[in-house]
Amino acid sequence: MQHPNNIGTKPHINVLLLAICLLILTGCRSYQTVPNSYIVKGEDNFHSIQEKLSIYMGPYAGDQMWEGHQSHLTNNPPTRRYVKLFQKLGYDKKTYAVLFTDDHDSKYGMAALINAGNGKSQNLLDLTKFQLNSADHAKWYSQTLMHHRQKIYHAIIPMYNKGVAEKYLSIIKILPEGESTKTVEKFVQQNAKTFQDYGYTLTNLKLPSCPAGVQEIYHDYVVPKSIIDNAGYYLLKVYKEEQNEQELFFYTLLGPSPVSQGAFKACPGKYKMLFTTLQGELIASENLEL
C-alpha cells in the first residue's frame, strides 16, 4: 500500500529536474557569432561581409597571427574562456554578437563584438562606467581591469554614419604581463577615426598595380568546379614571388554564387594563385609564370 505522503512526489521531482536542466542550458548558451568574415595574409584588415565593415588589424596582423594562410582569428563559437570574460564585462547574449576571437595563445588573446540587436530592445553596456577618450578627431570609450590575474583592455567605438540604429564595435585585448596599453590604444584610435570619418569600410579586393613603364599582362583563370558546385563565399589570392618571399599582389572575394572564370592584370614575374575558403583552407592552387 502506497504511503499517502508519497502521492504525487515523482511528478514534482521531474518538474524540478526539468527546470534545473533548462536553467543550466540557458546559462551555458554561447554568444551568437557573425557569419562570413575573413582576413587575407598580407592585407591586414579583418572583413565582415555580414556587417559590411573592415577592422584594421595593424600591429596584430603579423606572422604570429598565422599558420600558413589560416589566421588565428576565428568566428567560431567562443571558447568557455571568452564566454566567461564576456559575461564578466556585461555583454548580453541577445544584444551582442562575436565578430572574432583569437584563442591560439592560451595565455593572451583578443576579441571583437558588435551589437546585433535593434531599437529599444537592445541591452547595451552602460558607457557612463567607461572613460571617454578622444584623439585626432576620434572618440572611444575604454576601461582597464583585471580578470583571472590578467590585465584586460576593453574599448567601445561608436560607429558613426551608420543610419538610424546605434552601432558599437567592442575591442577586448588580453595584455601580456608588463605590456602597456599604448599599442592597443593606438590601434583602437585608428579604427575609431576610420569609422567616424568615413563610416563602414568594406573592401573585398586588392587591386594589382605595376611599376611605371612595365607592360601589364592579363591572366585568365578558371574557378574550380568544387567552388561552382557549392555556392558560398570563397577567396582568390595571388602572391608574387619576391626574393624567396611571397608578397600579396591581388585578391578578390568570390560568391555567394561564384562565376566560372575571370581575369586579373599582372606584371611579368612568378606568382602563386590560391583558391581558399574564407577561413584560409586551400581548395586549389597553381604556379604561374607570366
Residue 139 pLDDT greater than 50, yes or no = yes
pLDDT digit string (tens) for 56-79? 998 998 888 888 888 999 999 999
Q: Which stretch of DSSP H or E encloses residue 189?
A: helix 182-198
Q: Residue 282 has which C-alpha cell? A: 586551400
192, 260: one domain: no
Mean pLDDT of 140-168: 86
Domain-located, residue 26: no
Query: Which residues share a beta bridge with 32?
Result: 97
* Domain coverage including residue 280: 205-289
Report pLDDT for 163. Answer: 54
CA distance 76 to 101: 8
pLDDT at 23 over 50: no
pLDDT of residue 64: 84
Same domain, 148 and 219: no
Beta bridge partners of 173: 110, 153
Q: Are residues 226 and 276 in the same domain?
A: yes
What is the structure's pLDDT at 44?
A: 87
pTM of the shown model: 0.85
Residue 33 CA to residue 74 CA, distance in Å, equals: 10
Q: Check whether 237 has a pLDDT greater than 60.
A: yes
169 and 221 part of one domain:
no
Q: Cβ(57)–Cβ(39) under 8 Å? A: yes
- The per-residue pLDDT for 24 is 47
* Residue 179 CA, distance from chain mean position: 23
Sheet with 53-56, edge to edge strand ranges? 37-39, 45-48, 53-56
Model confidence at 16: pLDDT above 90: no
Q: Tell me which range, 155-159, 177-181, 202-206, is most confidently predicted by mean pLDDT.
A: 155-159
3-state class percentages of the chain: helix first, strand second, coil last, to nearest 5: 25, 40, 40
Q: How many structural domains comprise the chain?
A: 2
What Å distances lie between residue 156 and 56, 77, 80, 112, 129, CA to CA?
15, 21, 22, 10, 12
Tens-digit pLDDT profile for residues 183-214: 999 999 999 998 888 765 666 777 777 888 88
Q: What is the pLDDT of residue 245?
A: 84
Tell me the DSSP string of 205-265: EE-----TTPPPEEEEEE--HHHHTS-S-EEEEEEEEETTEEEEEEEEEE-SS--SEEEEE
Of 9 and 41, the structure prediction assigns the larger pLDDT to 41
What's residue 2's pLDDT? 47
Query: Can you give the pLDDT at residue 7?
Result: 43
Q: How confident is the model at residue 26 (pLDDT cuts 50, 70, 90)?
A: very low
* SS3 label, residue 95: coil
State the Cα torsion 276-281-284-290 to the nearest 10°.
Answer: 60
Q: Which of 198, 225, 258 is the last residue of a domain?
A: 198
Domain boundary among 157, 176, 198: 198
Instruction: Indicate whether 17 belongs to any domain.
Output: no
For the chain, give the percent of residues with pLDDT over 70. 84
What gap in Å lies between CA 233 and CA 219, rounded to an integer? 22
Average pLDDT, the chain: 86
Domain stops at, among 167, 198, 229: 198
Question: Do residue 222 and residue 181 come from a single domain?
Answer: no
